[in-house]
Amino acid sequence: MLRWVAFGASFPVGGFVAHLAVGPVRDAGGAFAAGLIAGLPIGLAGAWAMRRSIASWTLATSLALGAGHAVGTVAAAVFPVDVLHAMLVAGISGVFVGTAQTLVGPPTRRLHWLPLVTAGWIAGWATSLVLALSPSDGYVVFGWTGGTIFVIVMLVAVKWMWVDRSDEAEEGLPAR
């Protein structure tokens, strides 16, 4: 369980460090840099929680969050900085992160990973926007509230729904 708590904590930590280093995200360059920075602890903690390759998972997550947030920022530039803007950026970032992680080997069936990560990313942002953050704050990733929702979605999916059944015997999980 400690792995999953660390994964949840990686979102506000990564977002805070990126915000300190880059400042509020206002353009594609800042979005890319902030995504790279925030993606490092998120990828590292995610790899540890889901028992993925540390190097490839962390690199894929970091690069994808940087690219996804930059593309999302450009795509959403036609909207004022509001909830619609933030949700569009969240969806695009989720697609980029989910795709990159699918390529390096997700802990579930590949077919399920991309929509799962995208939905989790959107749910995490929606939760943070309702309870804690404003789109105008310029954060690259959601905070504690969204991180908690994202980790719950991932934990349920990885542990109970779509896991690759080959690990179950070694992890002591009941066979289904």
Q: Where are the domains of the chain?
A: 2-165
What Cα–Cα distance (Å) separates residue 104 from each residue in 25, 62, 129? 28, 13, 30
Average pLDDT over all residues of the chain: 84
At 147, give phi and psi (nearest 5°). Answer: -60, -40
Reported pTM: 0.82
The residue-averaged pLDDT of 137-149 equals: 83
Q: Which residues lie across from 163 on neighbouring strands?
A: 108
Q: 166 pLDDT exceeds 70?
A: no
Residues 6+ apart with CB under 8 A from 74: 28
Gap between the Cα atoms of 118 and 2, Å rounded: 24
Model pLDDT, residue 81: 66
